[in-house]
């Protein structure tokens, strides 16, 4: 099913970029092409912001700690200390993608239209600026830029226009976080 969605070809649709810089206007962007290319476009956008060495070190330590807590015995915990730095660096570089925050879930009541917010999944670790506008809409702390996009998702899947006027409405009346 996921492969089918990635192969989906979209007619031109609009989506918005919410800059973390409050002085920057909201941008309405357009895209035409495959879902896979759209997802790669978002991933490339977020990967372009490389975090500083201190942030990388914090992420490395976080990964090591997570591995240690997941290992059940002392022998496995000791193996974590012998993991090559290159392996961890590769994991960090390849993991820099985005997180999807569903703002509305497609259902019969909303004609199967879903609104999603796309954010840098490690924006805080990268020490990106707080995004007050996206945080208000998502009801959670967002660091770095964010995108909002609309989909139709019933039997078929397609991207639909999400415009600045819809963004303005979401900013005035953020969707409730329960039932997401």
User: Residue 77 is part of which domain span?
Assistant: 53-93
Residue 106 lies in a domain: yes
Same domain, 66 and 143: no
Same domain, 70 and 131: no
Whole-number pLDDT of residue 127: 86
Residue 1 pLDDT > 60, yes or no?
A: no
Min mean pLDDT across 83-87, 106-110, 167-171, 176-180 is at 83-87
What average pLDDT does the structure give for the chain?
A: 85
Whole-number pLDDT of residue 81: 63
Percent of the chain exceeding pLDDT 90 equals 58
Residue pair 154/106 in contact (Cβ under 8 Å)? The answer is yes
Residue 21 pLDDT > 60, yes or no?
A: yes
Whole-number pLDDT of residue 47: 83
Q: What is the pLDDT of residues 45-100, one digit of tens each?
A: 998 776 556 666 776 676 667 666 665 566 665 666 666 667 766 666 665 589 99
Q: What is the pLDDT of residues 92-103, one digit of tens each?
A: 666 558 999 999
Residue 41 pLDDT > 70, yes or no?
A: yes
Same domain, 82 and 115: no
44 contacts: CB under 8 Å, gap ≥ 6: none
Residue count of the chain: 180
Residue 155 pLDDT > 90, yes or no?
A: no
Radius of gyration from C-alpha coordinates of the chain: 19
Last residue of a domain, one of 71, 93, 115: 93
User: What angle do helix axes 53-70 and 85-95 make, rounded to 10 degrees?
Assistant: 110
Q: Which residue has the higher pLDDT, 58 or 140?
A: 140
Whole-number pLDDT of residue 89: 66
Residue 177 lies in a domain: no
Tokens coding 156: 């078929």
Whole-number pLDDT of residue 78: 63
Per-residue pLDDT band at 4 (split at 50, 70, 90):
confident
Residue pair 78/94 in contact (Cβ under 8 Å)? The answer is no
Residue 128 lies in a domain: yes
Query: What's the total number of domains in the chain?
Result: 2
What gap in Å lies between CA 170 and CA 144, rounded to an integer?
Answer: 19
Report, as an integer, the average pLDDT of 11-18.
98
pTM: 0.79
């Amino acid at each position: 099913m996921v492969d089918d969605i990635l192969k989906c070809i979209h007619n031109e649709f609009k989506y918005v970029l919410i800059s973390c810089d409050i002085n920057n206007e909201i941008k309405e962007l357009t895209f035409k092409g495959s879902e896979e290319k759209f997802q790669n476009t978002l991933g490339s956008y977020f990967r372009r912001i490389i975090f500083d060495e201190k942030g990388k070190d914090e992420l490395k330590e976080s990964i090591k700690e997570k591995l240690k807590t997941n290992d059940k015995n002392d022998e496995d915990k000791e193996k974590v200390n012998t993991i090559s730095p290159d392996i961890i660096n590769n994991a960090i570089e390849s993991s820099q993608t985005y997180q999807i925050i569903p703002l509305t879930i497609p259902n019969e009541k909303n004609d199967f239209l879903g609104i999603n917010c796309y954010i840098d999944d490690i924006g805080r670790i990268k020490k990106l600026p707080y995004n007050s506008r996206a945080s208000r809409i998502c009801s959670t702390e967002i660091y770095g830029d964010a995108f909002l996009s609309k989909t139709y998702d019933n039997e078929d899947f397609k991207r639909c226009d999400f415009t600045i006027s819809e963004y303005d409405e979401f900013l005035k009346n953020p969707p409730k976080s329960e039932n997401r």
